[in-house]
Structure 1
């Protein structure tokens, strides 16, 4: 007897509440989420909080240089949804929203397995700094540097980069019912990749969020102090 394939669950994994985030910062993040409007309706508030806390913790360290901008992908969302956002924090604007592929080792519709290992073909969770652009086998691409030891620190050596892929397009979903898969890269739609790569220029922050994310940069107390002193700058 042939057993039918069981489809991926579309029930999202709950995102743990971050400890030690001051009420003033939580309120500011809620206000930011509301101000971002319909384009950010599918961006879960808890994932936005992760991104904002990481940004506020990282920026003062000099590991990211570009102020007021962050990119965040919720890899727990199905890959049939636009689950990558590029945000202008100072002006509360969604600059870009797009599809983004995950690694073939990470799952089917939703990314469920993550790895920092060279041959895993998995997405690696955590915070990244955007680096230089180059023309490679996928054309115009941007390197990214993992900032979380043990989770994504091998990304640069694994050639995990932002690049375009035909399998990351709405047309691919219409034909196959899901996106295709990378070797771990957050691959982007051909119609949007140039604008997205240009917007996250060198020194910007990218968060790939998903189940089991753990990072030293999710420091609620440090983020609160930074926000009180400088806001989103």
Structure 2
């Protein structure tokens, strides 16, 4: 039986539609037409998968992962999640252990920071314990967000708020970011360690300005000790 032109066009369109539908379930690296080889320029190209980012230089990958988990957990409280602060209290006070990490670029800058004298009663330069208690004069571990600035004993300072049960007294304990003479680099040169705060994040004057400029406005700081 002969087919007229209209019927031939209808059958051709149906065949093409069936070809498109059957192709939808084929893997991306399988040639769809004319038996193309995988390296043929007309063959479909599988999407590239980004490599897993590594920790920036100087930042322990394990504490970075903890910080990122905390960022996700508290994401509704953190205004800007591209740049975070990480304090690795497993390191001694003569080491640059406060890291400002840009999660977009993967870069970090590191600063000296003092811990509380209640966390290091013997003044060994190593943090021995955390405490959230009033009058403990100790550093607390957990997730913080930065808050308002004010002028106090050490000049311009920045308040922080604790978001975890381990540091939720931070604001009431007046735990803040400030500069201090005992957190200047020459203390390390003279004594091999920084002095101690009363639980605050105490920096050199230069570092304090950089930390406040990069992390102000409700950004996150994560403080912890891995061992």
Given the two structures, how large is their TM-score scaled by the length of structure 2? 0.73
| 1:154 match | 169
| 1:163 match | 178
For the residue of structure 1 that corresponds to 2:114, the secondary structure is: coil
Matched residues in 1 for 2:174 and 2:217: separation?
A: 16
| 1:184 match | 199
| 1:49 match | 65
Matched residues in 1 for 2:163 and 2:73: separation?
A: 12
Report the more deviating stretch, 203-212 or 97-106.
203-212
> How far does residue 67 in structure 1 lie from its aligned partner after superposition?
2.2
What is the 5 A alignment of 1:52-201? 52-59=68-75, 62-94=76-108, 96-107=109-120, 108-149=124-165, 151-201=166-216
> How far does residue 32 in structure 1 lie from its aligned partner after superposition?
3.6
Matched residues in 2 for 1:54 and 1:140: separation?
A: 28
> How far does residue 211 in structure 1 lie from its aligned partner after superposition?
4.8
Per chain length, whose mean CA-contact separation is higher, i.e. which structure has more relative contact order (CA < 8 Å, sep 6+)?
1
Q: Deviations for 1:192-232, whole angstroms, at most 9, x for unmatched residues? A: 211211111121000111157xxxxxxxxxxxxxxxxxxxx
Matched residues in 2 for 1:97 and 1:129: separation?
A: 19
CA-based RMSD: 1.4
Gap regions ≥5 residues in structure 2: 1-50
Q: Is the contact made by 1:140 and 1:194 (CA closer than 8 Å) also made in structure 2? A: no
Q: Deviations for 1:170-198, whole angstroms, at most 9, x for unmatched residues? A: 10111122110000001111222112111
**How many residues were matched structurally?**
174
Matched residues in 1 for 2:226 and 2:97: separation?
A: 15
Matched residues in 2 for 1:201 and 1:125: separation?
A: 19
Matched residues in 1 for 2:104 and 2:226: separation?
A: 28
After the TM superposition, which parts of structure 1 deviate over 2 Å for at least 4 consecutive aligned residues? Answer: none
Given the two structures, how large is their TM-score scaled by the length of structure 1? 0.71
